[in-house]
Amino acid sequence: MTNATSGLETSLPAVTTRHNDHRRYPHGVAFMDGQYLPMSEAKISVLDWGFLHSDATYDTVHVWNGRFFRLDLHLDRFFGGMERLRMKLPYDRDQIAAILANCVALSGHRASYVEMICTRGSSPTFSRDPRQSENRFIAFAVPYGSVANEEQLQRGLHVAISDTVRIPPKSVDPKIKNYHWLDLVKGLLEAYDMGAETTLVLDTNGFIAEGPGFNVFVVKRGDLLTPAFGVLPGITRRTVFDLSAELGLKVTAADVDRHALKAADEVFITSTAGGIMPVTRIDDAVIADGNVGPVTRRLMDLYWAKHDDPAWSTAVTYA
């Protein structure tokens, strides 16, 4: 086998081109380095600190029925994360909103998962000083995806509580949406080993924190409770606070232990990827009668109804 660029003979086996196989990429459109590209062509340098050190922040917003849901809140969180990480981009908030809308419009998706990312980038001199890096912006729109599939949304998810501790807030501020997921992936793999469908990991004090891409809520005697410490302030979590205010439900953010979760009347998780999703089994315990509860159903219905409301959503202009 001959190496095309160097002409050197190697004894390496022929490698498959599996990572270049376009079928491995969902249909979608990305924006990077000033250009719109098909998803399969959106690639970054392996020297980008975003890849080498998880030195990046990002946000995910969804489009439903051709409308962004609560885009302003996602942009606030994204810009807040960049400020905390001392990153700067050559685009302002309106320009980023326009790029996201263009990615969606060019993709044609009316239900889309839209990501905006700022990586540390790399320095032209390969300096190890992060201040000398040129920060990079990437955005993309792919088909909408959910933590829970249709069947799981009907019957409720089976969640395993992991003993894994989420990275401490003193190490990585959870207000900065980040890719530090080794703890979450460890918990997820353990949950699969136990026959569960996803996981919840713990905070540094041993209370329930969050799961891979979602926050969690407990309903007890009509009141809602969600972890306060060591979690990403999710936009869907915030939306549950807002919907609860509209419905006259009381919500508290405080420590949540395993017992509160298993003894709950209802449990649900929240994410931009899936919205409000019921949980009906935790480890070996069935929650209440094992069916999706009335408070969860009411919140789910109102959540999706808000997606067509111009006070909560913004239309994408398709060509």
CA distance 232 to 178: 9
Interface mask (CB under 6 A) for ligand PLP, residues 193-232, using x and -?
Answer: -----------------x--xxx----------------x
Given 107, 164, 236, 313, the residue binding ligand PLP (CB under 6 A)? 236
Upper half-sphere CA count for residue 65 (Cβ side, 13 Å): 11
Q: How far is the CB of 69 from ligand PLP (least distance, A)?
A: 10
Interface mask (CB under 6 A) for ligand PLP, residues 149-188, using x and -?
Answer: ----------------------------------------
Between 133 and 270, CB nearer to ligand PLP: 270
Between 155 and 175, CB nearer to ligand PLP: 175
Q: Is 272 in the site for ligand PLP (CB under 6 A)?
A: yes
Between 109 and 237, CB nearer to ligand PLP: 237
Given 70, 136, 237, 281, the residue binding ligand PLP (CB under 6 A)? 237
Size of the site for ligand PLP (CB under 6 A): 13
Q: How far is the CB of 75 from ligand PLP (least distance, A)?
A: 12
Between 232 and 300, CB nearer to ligand PLP: 232
Residue 80's alpha-carbon distances to 156, 175, 210, 227, 263, in angstroms, are: 34, 8, 21, 21, 36
Q: Using CB atoms, what's the residue nearest to ligand PLP?
A: 234
Helix axes 93-107, 71-84, angle to 10 degrees: 130
The interface with ligand PLP within residues 49-68 (CB under 6 A) comprises 60
50: nearest Cα among 116, 120, 115: 120
Given 82, 161, 200, 235, the residue binding ligand PLP (CB under 6 A)? 235
Interface mask (CB under 6 A) for ligand PLP, residues 3-42, using x and -?
Answer: ----------------------------------------
Between 75 and 235, CB nearer to ligand PLP: 235
Site of interaction with ligand PLP (CB under 6 A): 60, 210, 213-215, 232, 234-237, 270-272
